[in-house]
């Protein structure tokens, strides 16, 4: 278990460094992250490298038993480089240059920038690649942050044309895929191709626009691969990672993670506006990150330690809150906690982004809380080793479908990710762990797979879902499933397209539900009446063996009494289709029925509102299980345990009802 903070020695006088290292040792730190924004200190002028200052701080850290995670500094190209090669700057969709003054101001496809990237990373890797104090490398910083993955410059246009040539082979195939016969948009040669930049209106051909998003994501991955290959060549026994951003969607993090040893996360729970939503919001970021590498544990390389904020501050963590957020991270699979940041900077854009120490640099309340966590993690480390979260539910998030709904939301105000989060909230509220996975994931071992808005799917994914249900799994999907081909053209098959045989239904008609209008939904199992908004589909039950049956019907409009939700037995399993957007009560009612049938149960029954339970299970045959119970409320709560445990901190046996104070956390082990 790694425990530490992001440290920026270049921001502080050198005579302060040892004081910081000594305090970190007191807080039981064993790692720091450094240098990810230090390009101008590492290469102050073109070709003039200086690693001596970094050598000195690493030596001090080594003296106090603290290892280093090094960041490649490419997220902040220095001014001398940008002045020498201004073509490196990104351009926005209006062809305006995004100039100097922040970070992430470079184009991934600019060849000059790639050359300078290769040089600085090679210099660092050859210098530190066999240094035993370096345990890992973070490549760049937060790919796709603040709308920086998509550039519209001439370098990108040329790279995009090359990408299309490799994908399609001929300009005729591009025209066919995009349907360019519409509005005389047919391209005769590769040179006529363009980026989906500023035009008469911003609704470009959806095939072109989706391919551009795919290309931009691939450009990030290719740029990362450049750095990975250099690090692989020079390093020995050092992990390679990148600090992803959970919900950010400009990069397909499933693809990006494939070449990394592990993935990492930057998480700031208090940046969510509503306090009651913050626990689920943070949990979702952790579950997404774990899913980027197929359910594997990960590192947190920036963990909130104070009030976040650049020009406006988010709420300051109250006493106990840092500990609570930290153990939520650990419970959901984090094997490293690196707080951002060690000390709050008194200048520049992050002078309001608070760290463990305030601007004055003296230990205070947050330092004492972090020190307590350090003591607890040190004791927990042997128990945590070889454990990870375990879920029986897979929730599919697909970047390609998310991008397609960004381009064509279908409904005013509709967002793929908000719809996805309705399902996530269901499982979170009921204390049922989920894995958030790619459509191309291995579904072996799951009992339920939920796929919101699976409008496009590759044939391999479709067949995998058929096999999953045939072998006994439960599958839930909903509106627009199967409606498009992978090229973003509407399918000419009767909906739900590729999934018609699995679900046993046909979509006769569909449309939007306007404004504040509601359509009644009658649950045939329990008689409850709920409502639907935004979208409806008129469902026919196909006359096939083991026919689909309605679970709920509409109560109004011309399609009243027709199915709104259906289920069909298929093989040993079951396929469920939700043909509208149910309100929370209606969705929960349907989900409760299916989850019960699938035999899926919460970690603990009867948890009070605002209390989270999560388990980490041994990946060996030892039967180890750690139960984390986290009180996210400001109230004292009582939790009823299901069996006898050992408290990991006190080593005492506990059973029955236990009491948690406000912000409190309990970590319990299965008693053996």
Q: Is the four-CA dihedral 353, 355, 358, 359 of positive or negative sign? A: negative
Across 275-433, the runs of DSSP E, i.e. the strands, are: 298-304, 334-340, 387-388, 393-396
**Token pair for 66:** 């603290």
Contact 217/225 with Cβ under 8 angstroms?
A: no
**Token pair for 285:** 């970021």
Phi-psi region of 12 (alpha: psi -120 to 50; beta: other; left: phi over 0): beta
Q: Is 447 designated active site?
A: no
Instruction: Output the CA torsion 249→254→260→262 (10° steps).
Output: 90
DSSP symbols for 369-412: HHHHHHHHHHHHHHHHTTEE---SEEEE--HHHHHHHHH--SST
User: Can you tell me which residue has the tokens 């995998």?
Assistant: 464
Contact 354/346 with Cβ under 8 angstroms?
A: no
Of 225, 210, 200, 212, nearest to 152 by C-alpha is 212
Of 629, 27, 20, nearest to 377 by C-alpha is 27
From the candidates 43, 142, 321, 376, which is the catalytic residue?
Answer: 142
Q: Between vectors from CA 211 to CA 73 and to CA 100, what angle results, nearest 5°?
A: 30
Residues composing the chain: 672
> What is the rounded CA–CA span in Å between residue 254 and residue 246?
11
Neighbour count for residue 441 (Cβ, 10 Å):
19
From the candidates 36, 302, 376, 612, which is the catalytic residue?
Answer: 302
Q: Is 514 designated active site?
A: no
Instruction: Output the CA torsion 409→413→419→421 (10° steps).
Output: 130
- Positions annotated as catalytic residues are 142, 302
């Amino acid at each position: 278990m790694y425990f530490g903070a992001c440290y920026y020695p270049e921001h502080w006088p050198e005579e302060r460094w040892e004081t910081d290292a000594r305090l970190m040792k007191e807080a039981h730190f064993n790692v720091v992250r450094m240098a990810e924004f230090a390009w101008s200190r590492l290469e102050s002028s073109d070709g003039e490298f200086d690693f001596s200052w970094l050598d000195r701080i690493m030596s001090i850290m080594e003296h106090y038993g603290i290892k280093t995670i090094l960041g490649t500094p490419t997220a902040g190209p220095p001014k001398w480089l940008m002045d020498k090669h201004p073509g490196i700057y990104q351009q926005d969709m209006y062809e305006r240059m995004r100039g100097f003054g922040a970070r992430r101001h470079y184009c991934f496809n600019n060849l000059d920038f790639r050359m300078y990237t290769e040089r600085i990373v090679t210099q660092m890797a050859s210098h530190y690649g066999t240094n035993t104090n370096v345990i890992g490398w973070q490549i760049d910083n937060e790919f796709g942050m603040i709308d920086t993955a998509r550039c519209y410059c001439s370098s990108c246009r040329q790279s995009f044309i090359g990408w299309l040539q490799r994908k399609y082979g001929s300009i005729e195939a591009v025209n066919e895929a995009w349907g360019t016969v519409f509005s005389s948009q047919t391209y005769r040669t590769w040179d006529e191709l363009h980026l989906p930049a500023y035009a008469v209106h911003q609704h470009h051909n959806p095939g072109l626009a989706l391919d551009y998003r795919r290309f931009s994501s691939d450009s990030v991955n290719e740029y990362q691969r450049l750095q990975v290959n250099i690090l692989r060549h020079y390093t020995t026994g050092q992990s390679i990672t990148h600090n992803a951003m959970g919900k950010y969607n400009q990069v397909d993090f499933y693809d990006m993670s494939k070449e990394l040893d592990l993935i990492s996360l930057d998480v700031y729970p208090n940046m969510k506006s509503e306090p009651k939503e913050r626990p689920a919001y943070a949990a979702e970021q952790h579950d997404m990150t774990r899913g980027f590498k197929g359910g594997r544990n990960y590192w947190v390389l920036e963990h909130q330690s104070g009030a976040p904020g650049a020009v406006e501050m988010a709420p300051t963590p109250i006493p106990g809150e840092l500990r609570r957020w930290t153990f939520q991270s650990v419970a959901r699979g984090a094997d490293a906690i690196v707080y951002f940041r060690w000390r709050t900077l008194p200048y520049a854009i992050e002078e309001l982004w608070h760290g463990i120490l305030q601007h004055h640099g003296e230990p205070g309340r947050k330092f004492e809380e972090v020190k307590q966590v350090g003591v607890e993690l040190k004791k927990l480390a042997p128990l945590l080793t070889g454990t990870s979260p375990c879920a029986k539910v897979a929730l599919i998030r697909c970047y390609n479908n998310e991008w397609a709904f960004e381009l064509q939301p279908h409904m005013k105000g509709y967002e793929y990710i908000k719809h996805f989060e309705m399902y996530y909230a269901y499982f979170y509220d009921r204390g049922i762990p989920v894995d958030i996975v790619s459509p191309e994931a291995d579904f072996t071992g799951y009992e339920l797979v939920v796929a919101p808005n699976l409008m496009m799917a590759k044939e391999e994914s479709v067949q995998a879902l058929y096999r999953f249900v045939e072998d006994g799994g439960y599958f839930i999907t909903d509106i627009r499933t199967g409606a498009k081909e992978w090229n973003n053209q509407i399918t000419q098959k009767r909906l739900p397209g590729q999934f018609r045989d699995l679900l046993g239904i046909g979509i006769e008609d569909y449309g939007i539900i306007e404004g504040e209008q509601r359509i009644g939904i009658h649950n045939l199992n329990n008689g409850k009446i709920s409502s639907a908004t935004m979208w409806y589909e008129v469902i026919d039950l196909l006359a096939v063996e083991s026919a689909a049956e309605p679970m709920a019907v509409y109560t109004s409009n011309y399609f009243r009494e027709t199915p709104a939700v259906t289920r069909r037995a298929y093989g040993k399993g079951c396929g469920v289709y939700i043909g509208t957007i149910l309100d929370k009560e209606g969705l929960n009612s349907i989900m409760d029925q299916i989850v019960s049938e699938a035999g899926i149960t919460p970690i603990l029954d009867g948890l009070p509102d605002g209390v989270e339970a999560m388990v980490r299970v041994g990946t060996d045959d030892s039967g180890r299980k750690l139960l984390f119970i986290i009180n996210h409320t400001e109230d004292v709560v009582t939790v009823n345990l299901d069996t006898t445990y050992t408290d990991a901190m006190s080593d005492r046996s506990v059973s029955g009802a236990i009491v948690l104070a406000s912000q409190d956390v309990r970590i319990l082990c299965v008693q053996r």
